[in-house]
Amino acid sequence: MGRSAVSARVWLRRAYDPPTRNDGYRVLIDRIWPRGVSRERARLDEWVRELAPSDELRRWFGHDPRRWEEFQRRYRAELELKHDELDRLVSRVAQGRVTLVYGARDEQHNNAAVVRQVLDERRSEL
């Protein structure tokens, strides 16, 4: 499976958007539960807090697009320590679609976008 095939299997969706039947396996990757979203409405298969950015990094970033490049660098360094969780998600992607669910408003500058890139890279290394 090439990199583009992995990307096609990993979707990103805000926790505030309604789930669809095409989402496949839904994984919340935020440390904090999205405000105002019930567990029933979220329809998650798993909540992997361990893949969320540290509280310190999250507060530093503050979803400021000017800090995006540095956030990615720091977050990737944190993810380097999360081999088991990432490998488990790579295995899940090999089985079918995985939707990474996140709470941020910004659909481009968020932790799920970084995790998807890392999953692509890890899958291509196998």
Mind listing the pLDDT tens digit for each residue in 25-79? 999 999 999 999 999 999 999 999 999 999 999 999 999 999 999 999 999 999 9
Share of the chain above pLDDT 90, in %: 89
Q: Whole-model pTM?
A: 0.91
Q: Sorting pLDDT into bands at 50, 70 and 90, what band is 1?
A: very low
Q: Which residues of 21-33 are buried (b: 16+ CB within 10 A; e: fewer)?
A: eebbbbbbbbbee
CB 63 within 8 A of CB 75: no
pLDDT score at 7: 64
Beta bridge partners of 100: 12, 27
Q: Sorting pLDDT into bands at 50, 70 and 90, what band is 88?
A: very high
Give the chain's largest Cα–Cα span: 39
pLDDT score at 126: 60
